[in-house]
Structure 1
Amino acid sequence: MAGDEETTTTAATLETTSTWAVASVCFILIALSILIEHALHLLAKYFNKKRRRSLIHALNNVKSELMLLGFVSLLLTVCQKYIAKICIPRSVGETFLPCKTLTESDSEEETKCEEQGKMSLLSRQGVEELQYLIFVLAFFHSLYCVLTFGLGMAKMKKWESWEAETRTLEYQFTNDPRRFRLIHQTSFGKQHLRYWSEHQILRWPACFIRQFYPSVSKVDYLTLRHGFIMAHFAEGSNYDFQKYIKRALEKDFGVVVGGSFWVWSFSMLFVFFNAQVFYNYLWLPFIPLVMLLLVGTKLQGIITKMCLDSHDKALVVRGTLLVRPSDHFFWFGKPELLLHLMHFILFQNSFQLAFFTWTWYKFGFRSCFHDTTEDIVIRLVMGVLVQLLCGYVTLPLYALVTQMGTSMRTIVFTEGVVEGLNRWRRKAKKNIARRNNHSARPSLDASLDNSPSFNTLDTSFSVDLDQPSSDAGYLTVEISDEETVATKRPEPRQKLGSFEGFDSCKTS
């Protein structure tokens, strides 16, 4: 009997394992890894062909996230023996347990700790189970972000018909600048200038309800579109606002799909509060939902505040009601703060679903992690509900309202326009440098050096491309790698020219 036990223990090592079995397993794992890497490479090649650099950036963030989780898994594998050797007092190790009962382990490291009257900080088996959680989290986070982004794009698909309507004669006649109307007579004013708009106590509950249906109405889209174009472009421009929002959302998706230190820190707090004494299933799954509803309410409140701001400045409108984009409508004057909140909501919800799936797979559906029916129902319902609300309701609303800040993002230009302007800028710099070198080339002999007129001559000069030209017929455009482009309105007012779709850029 003892010999059988010894044989069973020895069979678990590579010394007594067939080489064909080891080679077969390694070959299968390597083939799967190469297949996944090749699929990601083909996807990046497709995005590059379609000139979707924002999606390429998002894909790179996914790769970085997978690499990070891979490093964590590798470190756990290498350090699992040393972690198990760390002994802590039993009174400390038996606090904040997810289960009421302890599972005994007979590993060599834990046996040594038990001989000292202590227990291991984290057993080898616990490290192996934690590695499963890392793989599940990587899968769920990537899948969850893609599904949310797909739902948002599906919801914004109908905005294409709204954008096409702005080019019809009926729309131009309805919004003729020669027509004067009271703000209360406009559709946007009828929707937002009501008795609850003036009272903040009543405004927030109304905005909370309005985020569900309709989350983005046709009137809101057309009015915010008009305010954006009037703030950054020439009046009457046929700029395709819907495609701009789509590109901006793709760029934000690259941020959401990645990870950050503070997001991972809150995830570790989630693991900590999974102890049984906290009854976390009664409150922890609701945190992403509460934050999501708070963001949606704030976005609807921004639209109402912009309408009230326009009403306070003028009672009569010419053509379409004009809302003025400004950062002061947003929390702390930073529209990008909403993006970080969306990132946190998506990551935490995907983490909770991944944790539920992991405990289900490793410990069973009715394990001590989910010993009550209420726990299972609440976690599943909250996870699916946040997924649908975030993708189909809040994300389109966020994509529209966050464009109403003071600054205009560089994504306003298409990839082709940005590349063309950058090439033009580099060529202009080369021409100026060549001209400067040519003008500084004449040789000066000794007789000229002694001449007073040449002694007082300064041959070095510089040309500043950023200075505005005195000729009003030229417009200098500078494209940088920063996220936003601040818009200045010189006196007299000068704006960018109209864009036809996204394929051409005209300056006047």
Structure 2
Amino acid sequence: MAGGSSGDLSLEVTPTWAVALVCAIMVIISVMIEHGIHKLGKWFQTRQKKAMNEALEKIKAELMLLGFISLLLTIGQTTISKICIPAKAGDIMLPCKKAHDVEKEDSDSQRRLLWHQEKVVWHRILAGSTVDNCSKYKDKVPLISQSGIHQLHIFIFVLAVFHVLYSVLTMALGKAKMKKWKTWEAETASLEYQFSNDPSRFRFTHQTSFVKRHVGLSSTPGIRWIVAFFRQFFRSVTKVDYLTMRHGFINAHLSPNSKFDFHKYIKRSLEDDFKVVVGISFPLWFLAIVMLLLDVYGWYTLVWISFVPLIILLIVGMKLEIVIMEMAHEIQNRTSVVKGAPIIEPSNKFFWFNRPQWILFLIHLTLFENAFQMAHFLWSVYSFGLKSCFHENLAFTVAKVIMGLALQFLCSYITFPLYALVTQVS
């Protein structure tokens, strides 16, 4: 409105140079991003990285979906804010305490009261530029105010961006982990490796390095899960594990003396898995909506749910280590003498429900939940400050953020590459 406050001027009284400048900046940034994505896609095509190109297409689809959500929220902002609901319905399932509840706190809650006073001042300033269309009705409040829609808009954007960033970080750390495996791959061309794996050489099964590593104490029911728990943190994949799985894969799919580059194949497999975890499917969007729904003050939903990704990832890591152990036990039970290197027979029976892709789904779910937690933290800090009701226990908030970063490293550097390796012999 032309007669509104200086902070809420319409384009009728806004300098044309200011409008043109803002539009130019937005257009330039958008064109640069679009051009960069196009160049990256061309580079993937030149390098014949089909999976990475498909992953890039998924990212572009997410950006387009984000654009539609942004457009719908922008267009419907005024209409949605005019929808009125009963005041009683507007007082239930709140993420923060009501104002009168805060005022009832004793002197120990003075910090919360000061925060409430700051929020009252902020709401008064906002009320000067936003008309409450429901105030003319008795006991009616807006479904969502225009400022609330704007904050929701920001959260959805931050969530999508963080999921993509976390997925890219997962791919980068996964490939960094696999650089160590490249050295082991190069050793397969050495005379020493060919001698130790001479097909005419016989050995007792229990004397092979792979079987010795995964039998013994680790074969005891119950104890092997404890061994698997700690092994995923320390030497989750050793050289003998990599070379044994490489030999099993080549024996099952190629000629025994093939010069196949197994390391390169694993990298391609990781890229195929990446194009799955980079997307935000409808079930994951639904999960985000459910978590927002249950973020009610006193329920501590985002507190206990922050441990869910950690529990899932630890179970997945243990299961992958158990799969390797079961492969070693099968070799030992199959024969007492090994000719050449021990051979793993590919099978899906080692995985839950005979479906290795269930583990990939759990990794995908873990990455999304972790991205949700980090996005919600940064969004709440940006929108309401670090001392808002979302962070009443600051120490726990800091611990949750640190745990989220550690969880991301564990998933990207250990669990994801381990999954790509183990599933190739399934």
State TM-score, norm by structure 1.
Answer: 0.76
Question: How far apart in 1 are the matches of 2:7 and 2:245?
Answer: 71
By percentage of residues, which structure has more helix? 2
SS in 1 for 2:218: coil
Pairing 1:358–2:375 present? no
Paired residue for 1:117?
139
Paired residue for 2:201?
179
Distance 1:375 1:280, change over 3 A: farther
Paired residue for 2:67?
70
SS in 2 for 1:353: helix
Pairing 1:326–2:316 present? no
Question: How far apart in 2 are the matches of 1:11 and 1:279?
Answer: 37
Q: Map Cα deviations across residues 376-398 of structure 1 (whole Å, 9 max, x no partner).
A: 22321121111110111111111
Distance 1:120 1:312, change over 3 A: same
Q: Which amino acid aligns with 2:59?
A: V
Pairing 1:276–2:268 present? no
Contact 1:180 1:318 in 2 (8 A): yes
Structure exhibiting the larger radius of gyration computed from Cα positions:
1
* 1:37 aligned to which of 34, 58, 65: 34
Query: Mapping of 1:161-200 within 5 angstroms?
Result: 161-197=183-219, 199-200=220-221
Pairing 1:137–2:134 present? no
Paired residue for 1:26?
23
Distance 1:125 1:209, change over 3 A: same
Question: How far apart in 2 are the matches of 1:83 and 1:284?
Answer: 30
Instruction: State the Cα distance separating 1:227 from its structure 2 match.
Output: 0.9
Q: Map Cα deviations across residues 91-145 of structure 1 (whole Å, 9 max, x no partner).
A: 2221221111356674876442562312221111100111111222232122211
Q: Map Cα deviations across residues 325-345 of structure 1 (whole Å, 9 max, x no partner).
A: 101111111111111111111
Question: How far apart in 1 are the matches of 2:396 and 2:23?
Answer: 40
Pairing 1:303–2:300 present? no
Question: How far apart in 1 are the matches of 2:23 and 2:418?
Answer: 48
Paired residue for 1:390?
411
Question: How far apart in 2 are the matches of 1:114 and 1:97?
Answer: 23
Paired residue for 2:116?
none
Q: Which amino acid aligns with 1:300?
A: E
Question: How far apart in 1 are the matches of 2:269 and 2:148?
Answer: 43
SS in 1 for 2:224: helix
Q: Which amino acid aligns with 2:211?
A: G
Higher RCO, Cα 8 Å, sep 6+: 2
Distance 1:128 1:224, change over 3 A: same
Question: How far apart in 1 are the matches of 2:311 and 2:410?
Answer: 11
RMSD of aligned Cα (Å) = 1.9
Paired residue for 1:94?
91
Q: Which amino acid aligns with 2:62?
A: E
Contact 1:223 1:320 in 2 (8 A): yes
Report how many residues are paired: 401
Q: Map Cα deviations across residues 285-305 of structure 1 (whole Å, 9 max, x no partner).
A: 111111111111110010011
Distance 1:192 1:114, change over 3 A: farther
Q: Which amino acid aligns with 1:310?
A: I
Query: Mapping of 1:176-255 within 5 angstroms?
Result: 176-197=198-219, 199-255=220-276
Paired residue for 1:372?
393
Q: Map Cα deviations across residues 391-411 of structure 1 (whole Å, 9 max, x no partner).
A: 111111111011122xxxxxx
Distance 1:275 1:394, change over 3 A: same
- Worse-matched range after superposition: 97-106 or 356-365: 97-106
Instruction: State the Cα distance separating 1:5 from its structure 2 match.
Output: 10
Question: How far apart in 1 are the matches of 2:44 and 2:247?
Answer: 31
* 1:60 aligned to which of 57, 60, 69: 57
Q: Which amino acid aligns with 2:11?
A: L
Question: How far apart in 1 are the matches of 2:92 and 2:399?
Answer: 26
Paired residue for 1:51?
48
Pairing 1:335–2:335 present? no
* 2:368 aligned to which of 347, 357, 367: 347
Question: How far apart in 1 are the matches of 2:392 and 2:402?
Answer: 17
Contact 1:181 1:317 in 2 (8 A): yes
Question: How far apart in 2 are the matches of 1:332 and 1:192?
Answer: 23
Question: How far apart in 2 are the matches of 1:400 and 1:210?
Answer: 16
Contact 1:85 1:113 in 2 (8 A): no
Q: Map Cα deviations across residues 275-321 of structure 1 (whole Å, 9 max, x no partner).
A: 22212353121111111111111100100111111211111111111
- Worse-matched range after superposition: 111-120 or 44-53: 111-120
SS in 1 for 2:291: helix
Distance 1:69 1:8, change over 3 A: same
Instruction: State the Cα distance separating 1:274 from its structure 2 match.
Output: 2.1
SS in 1 for 2:94: coil
SS in 2 for 1:251: helix
User: Structure 1 stretches of 5 or more lacking a match?
Assistant: 406-508
Question: How far apart in 2 are the matches of 1:152 and 1:7?
Answer: 54
- Worse-matched range after superposition: 231-240 or 185-194: 231-240
